[in-house]
Each structure stands twice: as structure tokens, then as C-alpha cells.
Amino acid sequence: MSSIEDLRKEYVVATLDKGSVDADPIRQFEKWFDNARQAGVDEPNACLLATVSADGRPSARVVLLKGFDASGFSFYTNYQSRKGKELGADSFAALTFWWKPLERQVRIEGSVETVSTEESDRYFSKRPRGSQIGAWASHQSEVLASRDVLEKRIAETEQRFAGREVERPPHWGGYLVVPDSIEFWQGRQSRLHDRIRYRLVDGHGWIIERLSP
């Protein structure tokens, strides 16, 4: 059996040049996101969300991006979950996308704000009913005595909303990551990767920089 130290892969799919990227990082992200979908990447909207607690302890988990535009990148969750509490304590976060077939990574950093209640209501109404029930039944991130306890809460919630629409819980909704830094990473041979970063500078808008690999 080979050692983990011997696991290596050369990245040779593409290159990335500062002169070839879009002047707008959101349009550049859209191009890469569309490329990932066309390449058949499974759940291209899956990304790693990193947050920090009030005492400086970091944590990370995979979430699903549900929208992006000039205002930022949105995802939805339980406000009382660990990530929700951490975002309440420190309103900065980072998102990382990894699209393996394209040997590409995108890193987004910025401040975080909650989306409007209207937008959260709109998205919640589109979720499958089972997911809507789960948003009420699961006390996300809290210690659970057993799976049976969760199943009981699900059954009680199904009974509560029997024959009618499931309304959005007040503790559940959307967050928007408002970026001030977006990095596009293209894998290259010998770990000499191409890294192009967009950085938001007051009075200058987005500036584009090449970073050392």
C-alpha cells in the first residue's frame, strides 16, 4: 500500500492569465461556474463555508450556494446552528469551491449579512416539503439523544402542518457573503499554480493581482 506522502497528481488541464480574465469577478465566477456545470461536476454549487467563533476558534463545513449576483453569494441555514451563531458573533466568512475535473478552485472572502425575510420566504417556499419539515424538526448543531428523538419531532411537525403549507421557521433563512476578495486558482504542473485575485479597494473598485503559487 502506497504512503499518503506518495500521493501526487500533476495538473495539466488549463492555464489562467491575468490578461484573459473578466474585469468583473462576478462575471468571471459565472463563466467558471457554467464551465463546471458543462463539465458534469457533481453539485458544482457545493462549497466549503469557513466561520470563526467569538473566541477565535475556526470551523468549516460544506454548504450549497443558492444564488449569486453583484450583491454577493447566498446560502440558507438555521440561524441557531453553530455557523449561524458564529456569523452572529463575527460577521466575516470565507467560501471555497473545488471543481476537480477542471482542476479549479475559487476562494471568496467577505462580510456576511442576512437576506431579507421576503427572499428567505421565497426560497423556503420552493424547497421540497420534506426539507421544509426538517427545518422545523431539527435543532441543528445541538446534541441529539437518539435518532428516534428526531423522528418523533419530524412526525409531530408533519402532523402540525398536515393539509397546509409549511411556513418558514423564524430561526431559518438566508445569508449573503458580500465579497471583498475573490481568488481564481488554476492547477498547473509542479505545483506552480496560476492564482488570480480580485481585491476590492476603496475608491478604486476591483483590482486584479497575480499571486505566487
Catalytic option among 27, 37, 160, 191 = 191
Q: What are phi and psi of 204, to 5 degrees?
A: -125, -10
> In the numeric block, which cell numbers belong to residue 135?
427545518
Reference 95, options 44, 160, 42, 168; nearest CA is 44
Question: How many other β-carbons are positioned within 10 Å of the β-carbon of residue 89?
Answer: 12
Q: What are phi and psi of 109, to 5 degrees?
A: -130, 145
Encode burial over 166-202: b for 16+ CB neighbours within 10 A, e otherwise.
bebbeebbbbbbbbbebbbbbbbeeeebbbbbbbeee
188 is known as an active-site residue: no
Instruction: Please state, in angstroms and rounded to a whole number, the distance separating the CA atoms of residues 201 and 49.
Output: 24
Residues forming a β-bridge with 73:
68, 177
Catalytic positions: 191
